[in-house]
Amino acid sequence: MSWLTDIFTFVMIQLHGLTGSLGLSIVVFTVVLRGILYPLTKSSQVAMNKMRVLQPELEKLKNKHKKDPKALQAAQLALYQQHKVNPIAGCIPQVVQLVILIFLYRFFIDFLSHTDTQSIVMNTQFLWLDVRFPDSTYVLPVLAGASQFLLSLMMMPKEEASKANEKKKKQEPPKSGMADMGQTMQKQMLFMMPILTVFIALQFPSGLALYWVITTLFSLVQQYKIGGIGGAEKYINKAKVFLGGQKI
């Protein structure tokens, strides 16, 4: 892992030499990285959207084969193959982004704070930030949490699909306690992830939050191109009604 950290550090030093700003270097690095990963992240978001559409069918299979794990696994695999879905594909870009976040953290902690790097002068000022320290204005942490929340909403089913699923659920037999618990946890995660993002952004160097905001904005644009505004439509319509506008 140390050699990967060294490569990442070398890249950041070279970018700083080109841009003259560590913050701008993070922006350039993130934009280039997302451009390279675009085919992978696109297929990932398509797979995740399909998985959400298949969720009612997966719940049926869980209820049908709740006493036979092997039969459940076989039925799920057949469903994925039928709809050409790879459930693992949705995780790969998230893992890559998490790894980059770890390397960026190591860069800030191990490199910038190290005594024998004093000969390398870096401009850590970017806009109102010193990217070595948390954003004391709370602007970047709030942006990180808000963009994460919006992305989570957009990846949920649209209002019409949600209503249809609710109507269908009422006509079906009551679900097991585990299924209800899973749905409750999913709803809680919709709010917990943005809150956790804000908390992390407040505790760590603002350079990490800057990376997270930019990469999430890329995800928002991709999600809009692939699946539209999704579950965010419900909240946007409520806001429009409140402001006296028309629904989407």
Q: Between 227 and 77, whose confidence is greater?
A: 77
Convert the pLDDT of each residue in 149-181 to its tens digit: 888 888 776 654 455 445 444 455 554 444 444
Q: Which domain holds residue 148?
A: 2-242
Residue 16 confidence (pLDDT) above 70: yes
Segment 102-131 mean pLDDT: 74
Task: Count up the domains in the chain and report the number.
Answer: 1
| Residue 147, in any domain of the structure | yes
- Torsion 240-244-247-248 (CA) sign: negative
**Does the residue 248 lie in any domain?**
no
Average pLDDT for the chain: 78
Taking the whole predicted model, whether its pTM rises above 0.85 is answered as no
Residue 229 lies in a domain: yes
E strand or H helix at 126, and its extent?
Answer: strand 125-126
**Residue whose entry in the numeric block shows the structure tokens 């970047």:** 140
Amino acid letter, 177: G
In a domain, 192, yes or no: yes
Structure-model confidence comparison of residues 66 and 173, the more confident one: 66
**225 assigned to some structural domain:** yes
247 within domain boundaries: no
Mean pLDDT of 75-100: 78
14 domain-assigned: yes
What is the predicted pLDDT for the residue at 45? 76
List, as own/partner pairs, every contact residues 233-239 make where C-beta atoms lie below 8 angstroms and the sequence separation is at least 24, other chains included: 233/158, 233/159, 234/159, 234/162, 235/153, 237/159
Question: Structure tokens of 17?
Answer: 């030499």
207-248 tens-digit pLDDT:
889 999 999 998 898 888 877 777 777 777 777 766 765 665
Residue 131: closest CA among 48, 214, 58: 214
Does any domain span residue 96?
A: yes
